[in-house]
Amino acid sequence: MWRKRPYQVYFQDLAESRFIRMSLPDPRRLLELACDSLLRDEASAITALELLPMELFPPLLMAAFAGRHSKILKAMVQAWPFPCLPLGALMKDQQPYHEIVQAALDGLDALLAQEVRPRRWKLQVLNLQKKVHQEFWTMWSGTRANMWSLLEPETAQPMRKRGKVDSSRVEPRPPSAPMEVFVDLCLKEGIPDESLSYLIKKVSQRRDLLHLCCKKLKIFAASKQNINILNMVQLNYVQDLEINCTWKLSTLRKLAPYLGQMGNLRRFLLSHIRMSSRSTMEQDEQCVVQITSQFLSLLHLQGLYLDSVCFLKGHLDQILRCLKTPLVALSIINCQLLERDLIHLSQNLNVSQLKGLSFSGLNLTSISSGPLQVLIERASPTLQDLDLDECGIMDPQFIDILPALSHCSQLTTFSFCENPISMPVLEDLLRHTVGLSKLNYVLYAAPLESYEETTGTPDLDRLAQVHALLKQMLQKFGRSDMVWLSASPCPHCGDRTFYDPSPVLCPCYMSV
């Protein structure tokens, strides 16, 4: 009988034996077999971690993750030889991983429970974000970089066993270096899922030693429970914030102090904030001041997206005064603005880096074209995407902004659907923009001449003629590469109908 050899010896032999590398064509398959063999005996696997070379931790953890070996995962978290463990990158959408998350958090808890810190303790961050740091696993699995070059003696140092750490080789844990757990948070109504509930429990138990960090935060409810969770989050890590609720202004005011703590915020989306019929004008003013003043702390804000936000009317200048950095993207859609709001915007917004601008659903019919013209002209050196859908822009206003549009040398997409313009203005627009070499996509409004006079709905034959004429003009100017699509609302459901050159109709339109 052959004497059973320790599992770590098999890994060492795998790395050092030239004979094995020469005789077996696929060493990755051999490693998979070795991992599978090791995982069949959990006790031996956990014991082997003390001597396992660091290069073999990632493939072994991937195998343990796939097989949902919770006990081994817990032990591997404690022995992880890298500063970061991007566990979330292994998780797929719409699949439960509560046992995996619980095992990882239990591993962290076991580390933090130690009164002294072993020298081999490397782990600082447990990352539970999905689709983040996936390159770490692809590198170690060999799909993008050949990890086997690390095992070749000609190009890398031979692997050595990690010796056991005795009780004399320890050091105190630095009090200023807590462990961090990164997760994307989505705060909704109701009880959080099992994984988040367990994470909150662990963070509350070891508040000074375990920090809850979040880069992407979505808030759909301002419940007491969600406020308690926000109090546990290290808000300075938040880079992407979405507040997507049908809230009163006074409710948003409660979250204002939390917004001011997000000093590294890059993207902010705020939608569906309404006024309360019971509040006085003075109370509303106080709310607006408290909310807008938080923008003073957002020193890294690049994208601001405001959708159906009631307090902008007459107060846009307060936000602009608090913006300390140039925006890359600005979207103000489905809001009400005064002409003086647009004047402030056109004159005071730092547009030196502005690439995206959207005013979709902003009623500009009764507002002069001057502020919009100035804003587009100022942003023309950098502007790449412009959306003026459903703005009620008519022929005189459109004619005024055409010269500014023709200066947008970086423009790649332009959309102005559902604006009441005529065919001559549409042709004039093509002539002004055909020289923009980077402009590839234009989504244009069906001209007034293409609508039925009696029903007010688009006539498909007329739209086909419009599209054919524009296509001929593009070919004449040598811009057949530019795509012009017409879009108009379906008369039955309101969804857009596209024409390129034949209509792409919604099902309800075709059933009529």
What pTM was estimated for this model as a whole?
0.83
Which residue from 302, 382, 388, 383 is spatially nearest to 342, judged by alpha carbons? 388
**Tokens, residue 37:** 């063999």
Report yes or no: 102 and 198 within 8 Å, Cβ to Cβ: yes
What CA–CA distance (Å, rounded) separates 349 from 326? 8
Containing 474, the helix (H) or strand (E) segment is helix 460-476
How many other C-beta atoms lie within 10 A of the C-beta of residue 40? 10
DSSP character at residue 215:
S
Confidence (pLDDT) at 142: 52
Report yes or no: 67 and 176 within 8 Å, Cβ to Cβ: no
**Tokens, residue 189:** 């109504």
Three-state DSSP state, 335: coil
For tokens 């105190």, the residue is: 172
Which residue from 217, 262, 254, 209 is spatially nearest to 235, judged by alpha carbons? 262
**Tokens, residue 470:** 């524009």
In 254-299, where do the E strands start and end?
Answer: 267-274
What CA–CA distance (Å, rounded) separates 495 from 499? 13
Angle at 202 between CA 201 and CA 204, to 5 degrees: 65
Residues near 32 by beta carbon (within 8 Å), at least 6 away in sequence: 59, 63
Q: If you write DSSP's letter for every residue of 410-440 in order, what string do you get?
A: T--EEE--S----HHHHHHHHHHHTT-TT--
pLDDT in tens, the chain (512 residues): 444 444 444 445 444 444 444 444 455 566 666 676 677 777 877 887 888 888 888 888 888 898 888 998 999 899 898 899 999 999 887 788 899 999 999 999 998 888 776 666 789 999 999 888 878 887 766 543 343 333 333 333 333 444 443 433 334 445 447 899 999 999 998 888 899 999 999 999 998 899 999 999 999 988 899 999 999 999 999 999 999 888 888 889 889 999 999 999 999 999 999 887 777 888 888 889 999 999 999 999 999 999 999 999 999 999 988 888 899 999 999 999 999 999 999 999 999 999 999 999 999 999 999 999 999 999 999 999 999 999 999 999 999 999 999 999 999 999 999 899 999 999 999 999 999 999 999 998 888 888 887 777 777 788 888 888 998 999 999 998 888 887 666 666 666 666 555 555 566 655 54
Dihedral sign from CA coordinates of 106, 110, 111, 115? positive
Three-state DSSP state, 49: coil
